[in-house]
Structure 1
Amino acid sequence: MVGYSSIKEQVLYSTLVPSILAIKNHQSYNQAQKEFFLAQGFNKSPDVNLDEAAWFKRQAIKVIYNNPVYFLESATISLYTFFTHDGALNLLSQLKLDNGYLNYPHGLSFFKQSFHGLIISLADLAGSPLALVLLFRLFWILTAVCFMMSLVYQAVKKGFNIYSGFFLVLILYFALTTIANGLGVNARFRYPVNALILIFVIQGWQAWLNEYRSKKLSVLECS
């Protein structure tokens, strides 16, 4: 069993390191993880107990230290995923509404099909439950953009009040700690602060709207 105190070493070794190596070697995450474990003498993800935690941590830090650029790339992907991953596909899987559609090519390979095949695939997906994935993803991408705009506005124009400052600290804490999970980050890591992100966005836009109305009213009074 993995002790509570060794969870961080488990995550660093079994998740972050394979993520870095996957980016470095242009591999899938699963392939990089499998090859890394085999190279270390493990057939699967090892159980990190308290007695061995220090060794696993040293091995992970060594890889991170030797690959700073790929670590930063992994961290960037993790942060982007934290704010934009929708979790809709997992929901559809639990509801068993994704049957047959996961066999489509994923990522850029989806668009490398023949024109005829692409049209058929798009038509099928548009009428399938997986269309929700696109809608959810667009919603969270838009939310992430609004979050950044709200952050910049409140920092430059308005300043943070005690509430928005507290919300921001919590959001950034969860976002930054997910970096250790590398390419394994998904929507569930954001669940604890979903409401705070939306509130933070609303606060920023409400402050901007109030300022806009005040300026408009001042112009009308002057005229």
Structure 2
Amino acid sequence: MNDSRLKPKRYSRAVETTSPGRPRDPAVGERITAAAVEVFARQGWSGFSLDAVARTAGVGKASIYLRWTDKEALLTDAMAAVFAPIADIDSGTLRGDLEQLALLLLTLYADGVRGTAARRIVVESEVTEAVRERWATVRAEQIATTRSIVRRAVERGELATDAPVALVLDSLCGAAMLHPVAVSAAHLTEPALARHAAAMVDFVLAGASAYPRR
């Protein structure tokens, strides 16, 4: 299996597809997951509830239970969808892949609601057991997917076999997370983010090529 195509698991889709009757409107599910991200971004895990999500989405709580078994499953599914586009990155070159990854993450973290939720899930998955257990699998798949970008580059001969994979990705992903909170809004326009993504990749690749071999 090509691990560059790993997708985050949908923890509750069996609930949505096994019961008989008229197919459920996917637009309702999208409204619910968007509302879940919004509630989580604004209130964190302590304020995250199915009642709050239902009110924000403008649906009955029964609509949520038709699709998700509990709030842990809903939050995991909603946040996995936020990061899911990472799995589609495959430009054919290392630079292209890294620029796509950098721009995707910069754009995500510059988005007020989704960016806040993305940062919160990192913290909550460390301190909240119910979130940590569900998120661990998604996180492992994210790591495998991003590392496959570098492994493909090694296979194509773009990087040495002993290239510092973790350092390349940590440097790029960490910088993408921090940049939107460290600069003014003028630096968060689409053109500015694209330029910064390219500069980040230049910096990371220069560092990777100069990294001392042991």
Question: Which TM-score band (shorter chain)?
Answer: under 0.3
Q: If the length of structure 2 is used for normalisation, what is the TM-score?
A: 0.28
Give the greater-gyration-radius structure (CA). 1
Q: If the length of structure 1 is used for normalisation, what is the TM-score?
A: 0.27
